[in-house]
Amino acid sequence: MDSYTFQLYSQILKTFWRIILIALGIAAVVVLFPFMKDVLTILIISALLSILLSPVVNLLESKGLGRSWAILAVMVLILGLLVFSFQMIVPRLIRSINALTDRLQSGIIFDYNQKIEDFIIKNFHNAELAKNVTARLNELGFQLLGSLGALFKSVGSFLASIVIIPVVTFFMIKDARHFKRAFISKVPNQYFELSLNILYKIESQVGKYIQGQAIDALIVGILSIIGLFIINLVFDNPVPYFVFVGTIAGLGNLIPYVGPVLGAIPALALAILSNPPHLGLILIWIIILFIVVQAIDNALISPLVVSKSVNMHPLTVIVAVVIGGKIAGPVGMLLAVPFTGVIKVVFSQVTWGLKNYKISFPSKIEEYSVLNRKR
């Protein structure tokens, strides 16, 4: 066996073992995923928080504060805001859900059932069909309430981990550079600059993308809250719990195409349940509000704050949302699009790196070795 064949053979063997190791790694992640779900959730939330808070920490650091103190100051501020908003919002939320349940139990369902049954009997002359339709609708309604309860249960476990998340976030912001250096120190020399450049670009673009999405969601949420507040002022409070509804609209905005509809549905449903005078007009105003908010978002906010490099095809968005929902329920649906955006950034940057850097390094090293030997 000549030396070239030997080198080729060892290279193929190395590649084979690498593929086996990667496959085993992926299999381990898939098998361990159910057990690691909570840990992964904490890590993902902490990573998102560290991306969102880093610019503020950097700003405080540039004003002369030490990095650890800057992180602590931001964390205390955020925790203070969270405690304040929980104190303000959670009791109201519980009150509003109780009120909603009372309303549902106090015959409003019966009224609507009766109206639907009458409508079907009048138009289709089929009493059995009317009974089936109302039974099915009721079943769906209770299923929806049940899943809402499950969501709040998951929020409860989230609250339990709220102690761990700030600690993890603190170290993620403080030691991000050390983690990166430790990771990059394991990369072989011939791929060092390529990997480092790709890593920097991914870090920068993912950061911009997530910060942009968060700012966009915040502005859409605030605009929706203001709009619903004005509608409430004009029409004598037809949309109760409008802060909650606006928050949902802001969060829903993380999902392109589907988000705006998701944002409008709770507002419309609450208005219908309140059953105020001029209901039709109110519903039209709510629809107009969400169309205007979307128009402002698409024309003014998104182009300024959301990175253009992460434009996604509607089909990609739908597939991502469905898969996200299957894996992690409503939270998964919400995080599916940003997560796909991150994957897209990683993929495009790796492709950029492979295109721009000459990867045939080992042969080049040989060339230089030959050059050195000749000299």
Partner 1 sequence: MENPIWGNGIFRKKKKEEGIFALLKQVPIFSDLTARELVEIEKIVHRRKYKKGELIICKGDPGLGMYIVVEGSVEIVDEDKKAGQRRLASLTKGSFFGDLALLDESPRSASATASEDSEIIGFFRPEFLDLISRKPKLGLKVVLALARVVGERLRRTNELLIKIPEEKGTSSNG
The footprint of partner 1 (CB under 8 A) covers 58, 61-62, 67, 171, 174-175, 177-179, 181-182, 184-185, 189-190, 192-194, 196-197, 200, 203-204, 356-358, 361, 364-365, 368-369, 371-372, 375
User: Which CB sits closer to partner 1, 209 or 241?
Assistant: 209
CA 110 to chain centre: 38
Min CB(304)–partner 1 separation in Å? 20
Are the C-beta atoms of 68 and 174 separated by less than 8 Å? Answer: yes
Cα–chain-centroid distance for residue 339? Answer: 7
Closer CB to partner 1, 140 or 354, in the complex: 354
- Quick one: 148 or 182, whose CB is closer to partner 1? 182
The single-letter DSSP state of residue 2 is -
Closer of 317 and 345 to partner 1 (Cβ)? 345
- Quote the least distance from Cβ 198 to partner 1, whole Å: 10
What count of residues does the chain have?
Answer: 375
Give me 310's structure tokens: 């992460």
Buried b (16+ CB within 10 A) or exposed e, 200-213: ebbbebbbbbbbbb
- Closest separation between CB of residue 192 and partner 1, Å? 6
What's the gap between Cα 213 and its chain centre? 9
Please give the single-letter amino acid code of residue 71: I
Q: Which of 269, 261, 266, 267 is nearest to 230 (CA)?
A: 267
Place of tokens 């950061």: 207
Residue 241 φ/ψ, nearest 5 degrees: 55, 40
Min dist. Cβ of residue 59 to partner 1 (A): 8
CB of 193 to partner 1, least distance (A): 5
Among 244, 226, 223, CA closest to 294: 223
Could you tell me the smallest distance in angstroms from the CB atom of residue 153 to partner 1?
A: 33
Q: What span, in angstroms and rounded, lies between the C-alpha atoms of 61 and 71?
A: 9
CB of 357 to partner 1, least distance (A): 5
Minimum CB–partner distance for residue 67 and partner 1 (Å)? 8
5/62 with CB nearer partner 1: 62
Angstrom distance (rounded) from CA 79 to CA 76: 5
Residue nearer to partner 1 on the CB measure, 52 or 130? 52
Between 229 and 357, whose beta carbon lies closer to partner 1?
A: 357
Q: Give which of 236, 242, 279 is closest to 264, Cα–Cα.
A: 242
Tokens representing 76 are 């205390």
The residue (of 103 and 174) whose beta carbon lies closer to partner 1 is: 174
